[in-house]
Structures are given as C-alpha cells and as structure tokens.
Amino acid sequence: MNFPVAICHNYSLVEKNTLGLPSTAKYYAEVNSVVELQSALAFARDKQLPVIPLGGGSNVVLGDVLDALVVHVNLKGRTVLNRDQDYVRVRARAGENWHEFVLWSLDNRAYGLENLSLIPGNVGAAPIQNIGAYGVELMDSFVSLEAMSLESGLVEYFDRQSCGFGYRDSVFKGEKRDQYIIVSVTLDLDATLKPNLGYGQLGDLLARRLGDQAPSAVDVSRAVCDIRREKLPDPSCLGNAGSFFKNPEVSPSEMDRLKQIYPDIVAYPLGQNWKLAAGWLIDQAGMKGARKGCVGTYHKQALVLVNHGGATVRDVLSFSGQVQQKVNDKFGVQLEREPRLYMGDVDKISH
C-alpha cells in the first residue's frame, strides 16, 4: 500500500521535545495537511502501530525508544471568521505556535488571550490541557474544535460541552484519550479589551509601570511575558517541559487541616474546593533548586524540572518521584505529573 506522506524510520526526537531527552521513534511522519494526517493514520492502522501526536514537544516526557508512529502535527493557518460589536470569532489550525497565535489575535483586535501569552506549545494541545494562567483559561473563550479519529480517519466536531473541560483537563485526557488528533480550534474573543488583572503579581507589575493609566492588551501581554521569563527557563538554553506538576486540589476539610499546621500556605479557591500552589509545597519541602545528577528543579521556580544536560527519561522519573515523596511526607498531599509520559510500545504508554 502506498501512502502520500513521508514515513521516516528510527527518527531521533531529541530536538523535538523541550526537555531535550534522547528518544527515537521507530516511525515518524510530519504532516502538513489533513490529507497527510489521514495518510499517516492509515499507515499506523496498516502496521497496527500506536500513534503518538507531537506538537511543540513542551508537555511530554519521552522514553528512549518509541515503538509507535510519532506524528508531528504541522497544520498551519489562522483566520478571523466573524466580527461584531461584542465578539471576534477566530480559528487556528493545530500546528500554529500558541504564543504567536496570541500575538496575532491582539494584532487583529481580538482580546482575551493576553494572559495566556508565552505558554509553550502549539494550538492543538491547548484544549487537551485546557491551558490557563493568571486567572484565564482556554475554556473561557472556547467555541469548538475539529479532531481526526485515529480509528476512522474522519474529522469530527466537538463543541464546548462535549470537550468536558476541567482544571487542566478535558475529555481528551479521559474517555477520549488516545482516540483523536486535534486539527483546528475555534474561539470567540472579545471585540473590546476587558483586562483580567486579578492575579496579584500581574496587577502589581502593571501598576508600577503605568500608574493609574489603563493598560492596553499589549501592555498586559508584555507584563505576562516578563513575569514568565523571570520565573521560567528558556528551553533552548535549559531543557524543561514547563510546569511539571499540577497544582493539587483539596477539599475544604483538608484545607482546614493544612491551614492549621501551615498558616501561610498558598492556596486559591477552586469551586467548592481549594487549589494548592505546588511550587510553594515543593519549596517548603526543601526541593526548590535541588538536583540529582542531570535533573533538578529550577532555582527560580520549583514547579519546573530541568535537564542540566545528558538526562534520560529514567533520570527524570526518578527525580520527580523523589519530589513527590518529599511533598507527600511533609504535607500528606500527592502531586500529579502534568506532562504526558510515553514509554516504549503501546502497552507501555503511561497515563
């Protein structure tokens, strides 16, 4: 059977993941169109291979050898679909860089994503994770997405309800996991700027810069970028996968228990529960800036694991497990890994 897409064998992924881990894909394809994606998935079905989608490579931990078809989703395109006095409807294809898409939206007077500036990765990964930062989440502006079924090769439509969004969560991390590859995302952004400055550090920085002057969307975006750059290392200089642990959610009773022991604990209301600052927990457990061999936590932000050079997936898992144990021992709170872990063949792809 002939497939109209180039399939590479034993392809190195060391440059395709921001942690910089050595990894080899038994099969690899870069797809630049829906037709090429369908062809790549047909190849995987023909060879009975698991499929691993790869975008910007910023939210994954890759094993040494992946006995799978790794599909680099490189679908490009950004469009303003409609504009009225309240909203601007935009669509971006999955391979667009997220930060560049945010800047494009501001250039097109479409507001609401400025707080999500400089989040690493591509558009296609954004709804899977329901990315969020500084008081804003993707679901706030989400309309719909199109995703290709790995089983049928057909493109299906998902509205907001069918995506099952939660805190850093969606149906694509649950019951629809490993069943679809997202090809485009549609959002309704604001036609007029409604800045969200509730996050203290962001509001404080803008107040110092602008005084009583109202910030523009670009002002907000630049402030967010400056805060992120201050706290987070550039993957091109120091390998990392962004935030490595989720901020854990606890019940009100658990929050009361922790507050009695640690009055200065950093936490935020999340519905009826509380969200704990994982970085604070790691810091208080004595693991901020800690290092074991080639892997450590970043000295400016304990939430980020970094590859100082030469690390393997085993090094990352060993050290991250040590961080989890230290936090659990001190607080009785279990941290969950945020990046997706891929280890070996289909039976070893970890959830």
Please state the domain extents for the chain: 8-75, 78-190, 239-342
Q: Render pLDDT for 290-322 as a digit per residue (tens, 0 to 9).
A: 999 999 999 999 999 999 999 999 999 999 999
Residue type, 164: G
pLDDT number for residue 167: 84
Looking at CATH, the fold of the domain delimited by 78-190 is given as 3.30.465
pLDDT number for residue 347: 38
CATH match for 8-75 among 3.30.43.10, 3.40.50.460, 3.50.50.60, 2.40.50.140: 3.30.43.10
pLDDT number for residue 1: 58
The mean predicted confidence, pLDDT, of the chain is 94
| CATH 3.30.70.3190, domain 239-342, yes or no | no
Annotated active-site residue 243? The verdict is yes
**How confident is residue 200, by pLDDT bands cut at 50, 70 and 90?**
confident
pLDDT number for residue 175: 95
Annotated active-site residue 251? The verdict is no
Q: Indicate which residue of 243, 249, 337, 340 is catalytic.
A: 243
pLDDT value at 346 more than 50: no
pLDDT number for residue 270: 84
Q: Render pLDDT for 172-195 as a digit per residue (tens, 0 to 9).
A: 999 999 999 999 999 999 999 999
Q: Indicate which residue of 89, 168, 177, 257 is catalytic.
A: 168
